[in-house]
Each structure stands twice: as structure tokens, then as C-alpha cells.
Chain A
Amino acid sequence: MTATAAPVRAAPRQVPRVAPRNMTRLVWMELRRNTMPVVLPLIAVLFWFDSYRIAATMPPLWVERLYYILGQGHALVDFAPFVAGVAAWMGSRDGRRGMTDLVTATVRPRWEAQLATCAATVVCAVGSYLVVMAVTLGLLGRSIAWGGPPWWSVGAGAVGVAAFTSAGFALGAYFPGRFIAPVAAFGALFAMGTSSQIGFSSSGGWALILPTMSNGNFDKDAGLFYPFLPDVQIARVMFAAGVAVAAAGLLGLPASAGGPRLRRSAAVVTAAGVAAAVTAVALASTAQVGPNGAVIPALHDAASDRPILYTPVCGQAGIPVCVHPAYRSYLPDAQTALRPVVQELTGLPGAPVRATQVAAVFQAGPPPLTGPPTAAQLQVETIGSPPVLHLTLNAIALPGSFGMNTSGFIGQIRLQFVHAFVGAGGGSGNPAQQIVQAALLQDAGIPLAAQPNVLGQSPWALPSRGRGGGVAASYPRPISVAASRFAALPAAARHAWLAAHLAALRSGRVTLAQLP
């Protein structure tokens, strides 16, 4: 019998799909042999020390507790250097061991094999980030009574980890050697440090793409009175995904990566990644800071602007005081703060009959000391008939955050009330308004000497008269002398003067000579 006489074997009806299964097996193999798990306990300990420990001491609101971790991007600062370093080590493996020629000659294209290693490294890094974030949100959320976490920010962090991993891997693949891991790690830390610097000092524009930038998008009453706006986070996801995809595509560009068709595909993938990243930066630069946060017109969904419904929690401080349910634990402080001021002003025309909390709104940049007032500065006011005091509790630091204590918090609420009452509006007020405000605050328990500090933490800081500008450390002498004199008046005399001159005081028509 010869081969020509052998019966022809029927072709299988369906060719088995080998490639995807092989890719899955490759990724699984790389997952088991990956270096990333070795460094994960260290990242977890550092995350606890650098991020969680500090976040756990913040006030029990999602926007406050996650401000440091997600708003200022410390979760990414903790993860990025380590995942970039380990990914660079994994990416440099073949080159470091002198096996590049050997693996290039195998049946699978080199790009495919590298993508398997890269994918396994990304899965390890992103998976560990998500596990750490899940545990963190679970632990931090135990004492938070209202609202939910900003999921888009969590997602943006995860894609950011993927971007650093992918970029580190590409760096390792292109420059194999033992020093590439520390260079990638310290380069990532340097990048995050620079990003923090830009994030702290910028108020908007393209810098919103940076994961460490909280200004204008992760602050105030986001997630409480109105949802966390996802616009900036969507742009960040787009940017980080673009970087990750471009880095993965770069692996397929060298001649050793595969055939011409494969390399053309890699070039397309790289170009798509770069295009996504550049588009994201361009979108971020079109952002405008609105009352609820940064809005990117091309990405904005009007549904995100709908206020979140809630039933206020109320108490008594001579007048009813109502706060958002998320601020329930601060209601006693608000009552303590308002009670002495209410006692001073009861019966005067325009004295509020109720105090209610309103949402703190965003503004671009710090409050100006001179010039026209911003919307945030004008927010605290007594309006309507009968008048209602609008309080913005999260426009100031809550106790336990950023060095604020309960006494300082109470002082800020008192200042909000008195400032609104004298009608000083968005600035620090005219001299007569400043004098009456200072006297009323002194009678409510804040000494004159301590008031410039209280004012300095508010949107109505006293402008310095010095050459350097900035915030004044004390009242000008004429103001402090007149305020002391006004505060020393008997309560009945003060009350009578205010009843007679309040309308003129509020409209800014009272001169220093008219003060008692």
C-alpha cells in the first residue's frame, strides 16, 4: 500500500479555536509566575500608613473621607511607583536574561507573548488595587450614614494603576536591565510628585486631567446635596486608558514583535491610545467650574445636575436649625454656635426666624480678597420674608479635618451668622460693618484678638494693608477701638442702636461717626 492509495481523511467540520485558548493559558501561566504578588503586602501596609490611617480620622462624609485618598490621588501615589517598578522588571525579563532571540524564534509572535505577560501584570496590579479599595470603602463607610462613594473616581484610579503598569512594562521591554525597575519606580514617584504640585496650585484647565487634582471637582458638598459630577473622572479614565493602550501598542512596533501585519496593527493600537489620551486632555481643558463642580460640556449629562432629595434634621437654638441628614452629628455644634447670636439679635428687624443648611458651591480658585464677590462668598445670607439664615457648613473645614477643631468650627458658624446679618455680602464689609460684626462676635464669645484668625479661615478674610498683601493678622487700630467701644455698650443700648440703624448698616450707608 502506498500513500496515494490511502483513503483521504475527511476534514473536521469545524477548526478548533486554538489561539484564544492559548492566550488564556499564557495569561494564566504568567499570572502564576508574576512578581507583582510579592510586593503587594508592602503596598497594602504603605497604603494603610499613608492613606487609610489619615482618611479614617476625617469627618464621616464620603467627600471628606475620600478627599485624601481619591480627591488628591494618594491611592495612586501609593500604588503607582511600585506597580511601575515591578511591571518594568517583568517587561525586561526576556532581555535581561538574554533570551530575546530565543523567544522571538518561537511559533507565537513576540508581541502576543509580551501582551500575555503585560496583561497578567495589569490584572495583578488592578485586582489588588480594587481589593484594597473595596476593603477601604467598607471600613471607612461603617460610620458614614448618608450617600455613597464616588464610583467614577474609584474607576479612574483603577485605570490609572493599569496605565502606570502598562507604561512601566513597556519601559522594561525597551530598556532591559536590573536598573530599569528602580528607574521606572522613582520616575513614577517623580511624576506623581509633579502632578501633586500642579494639582495643588491650579484651579482648572488641562490640569484637571491629573489624578491628584481635587480643586473644582472633589470637594464641598459633592455626593450630598448633588451627585459627584463624573465629567472629569470620565476624561481621566479616557486619558489613563489611552496611555495604557498606547504603551501596550508600543510593544508591537519593533521588527522582532511579529510580521508586518501585526506591526501595522500595533501601530494602529498605539495611535488610538495616543489619540484617546490627547482627546482627554483637550476635553479637560474645556472644563468650567460650575456650582456643583467641573463641567466638561462634551461629556456632561444634565441628569447629573439634579439635586439629591433629603429630609432635613432639625433642632432648636432659639430659632429652628435644620441641617442635611449627613451632617446630623454636627447639629449640636450648630445649635451651640447659633444660640448666643440668636439671643443678641432676637427682635431686631431682619433677624432670621430659622437657620437652614444649603449646599456649599464650587468656585474657581481661592476666594478673592478684593474685587467683586464670588457666588461662594455671597452664599451665606439672610433672605426672604420672614428672613432665613442660609448656612454652608462644608464651605468651611469640619472638625477633625485640616486642623479644624470644634471650637474653631463653632466660631466659623457664628461668623457666618453675624456676617450675613450685618449685610457685608461677599467681601469683608465696609468699616462700619466690620466694627459691628467684630462687636457682635466678641459678645458671642470670640475675643477681638482671635477674630482675624477666624476670618482668615472663612471666605471673608481681612485683607492686609502691608506691601505683600495677603491676610491681615489683626484689625486696624481704629476698627478694634470702635468695636471694643460698641461691644462695651449695655445690651439694651446696643439693641436699640441696631434697631434704628440696621437698614442703613446693611446698605453700607453708616459712617464711622454714626457709631456709638
Chain B
Amino acid sequence: MTAAGVHQSAPGAAPAQAASPGQAWLRLAWLYLVSRRVPGALALLAGFGLLLWAALFWHWNVAGGAAAAMVIPLIVEAGAAAVIAVTTYGPFGEPERATGRWLPYLRLGTAVALTAAAVGALAGGATGGTLPEGFLAMFRNVAGITAVGLLSAAVLGGMLAWAGPMAYLVITETMLAGGRTSPWVWPTKPPHDLGAALCASLVFAVGAVAVTLRGARDSARQ
């Protein structure tokens, strides 16, 4: 006997409860967030906020010029971006992509919500003292570096998505140490620089579109 001809539940089985569309969507969103370890990511973002608070409160600093003054806030911002980037990869791969009609919306919503959470956590951390360059620069940096992480997730895969923000951080520090600036390396520009803000916004838009449409690249090495 095979299951091919079975069209009804076994006798005595409990009938499945029909959920309302709202409840079903919430459950789907929750399952998606859990599969991406978003609760863990939120805890880590809160940890980065605490780290920033401690660094500002106890005046941890690296002696030197602009590169040194920015190094701790930049490590915290890039670290938060890296955490968001690694939430993009899912464990289900092709089956999820083939069946998940809402997947693009969930990806976009998660990326934007986590970016907002990171900005919030770091804004809370900034209350520990005076944040170099202020809130606007932190907002721009977090959004822009997160986008670099989203792009590297699309190109390198979710497992190495953190490498993008890390590489961007190294490039930024090198340029700051050399006294060079570029709007594409926005942390080297002052907070009110329009070109830097536009570049960060553009990269964020491209990163969001890439992760919405394609998601993180799957790799056999994962």
C-alpha cells in the first residue's frame, strides 16, 4: 500500500485549525526571523551599544590622528553592520526560495528593521559620552556599512558577509590615517557632507535591492 491514494486524514486525527491571514503572516514572519537568528542578532546589537557606551563613558581612545580617534566607534558600527549582514543567509536554500512567496518582503523588512535597531542601540550607547562626529555621522555610517554587508552577502554568501564591513573598515582607517577623503568612503567625510550622505544612501538602496531580490548567495562551502 502506498500513500498515493489517500485523500483524507486518518480516523481520529485532530482537524487542522484554520488560522486567520494575519496570524498566519505573523507566524511566517516569526519563523523567518528565528531561521535567521534575528533574536540573537538583536542581543548582539544591544551588546555593541553597551560596548560603545563603555568606550565613551570610560574614554577608551587610541592615541593619534583622525584614524585613531574614530577607530573604536567605527569598529562598533562595522561590527553591528556585520551582524546584520550574517542574518541574511538562510539554512533552507533552494526549497525556501522556490516556495517562499513572501521571502523578498521578509528579507527587506528584516534588513531595514535590524538597521534601525542597530542605529537605536548605538544611539543609546552614545549617551555614555561624546560620540566623535555625532549622531548623524553614526546613522550614515551604520546604514552605509550595513549596505556593504548586504552586498557582500549577495556576492560572497551569508557565511562571509561580515568580510565586507571588515574590509570597508580597513579601507576607511587607511584613508583616515593618510588624510585622504572620498564620498564613497563616507566615514572620512564630515557628518553634513551631502556627497557622502548620497553615496551611503545609494549604496544602502543597492544593497537593500540586492538582498531583497536575490538574498544571500548559497555556497557549497557553507
Contact = CB atoms under 8 A, between A and B. Distances in A.
Contacts of B62: 193-194, 196-197
Task: Summarize B's interface: helix, strand, loop or mixed.
Answer: helix
B119 interface: no
Contacts of A185: 82, 162-163, 166
Nearest to A53: B174
A218 interface: no
A38 interface: yes
A35 B82 contact: no
Contact of B86 (A179, A196, A197): A179
With most chain B CB atoms within 10 A of its CB, the pick from A46, A78, A178, A183 is: A178
A85 B86 contact: no
Given A193-B75, A196-B62, A89 B159 contact: yes
Contacts of B162: 85, 181-182, 185-186
Interface size class of B (residues with CB under 8 A): 35 or more
A182 B79 contact: yes
A125 to B, nearest CB: 14
Contacts of B174: 49-50, 54
Interface residues of A, number: 34
B75 A38 contact: no
A190 interface: yes
B194 to A, nearest CB: 26
Interface string A193-221: 11011001100000000000000000000
B167 interface: yes
A200 B64 contact: yes
B167 A42 contact: yes
A504 to B, nearest CB: 44
B18 to A, nearest CB: 33
A182 B164 CA distance: 11
A197 B64 CA distance: 9
B86 to A, nearest CB: 5
B13 interface: no
A183 B75 contact: no
A46 B167 contact: yes
Nearest to A193: B71
Interface of B: 37, 40-41, 44, 62-64, 68, 71-72, 75, 78-79, 82-83, 85-87, 89, 156, 158-160, 162-163, 166-167, 169-171, 173-174, 178, 219, 221
7 contacts: A35-B159, A49-B171, A81-B170, A85-B162, A178-B89, A179-B83, A189-B169
Please list the 5 inter-chain residue pairs (A to B) with the smallest Cβ-Cβ separation, ordered nearest first: A182-B162, A182-B82, A186-B79, A197-B62, A50-B174
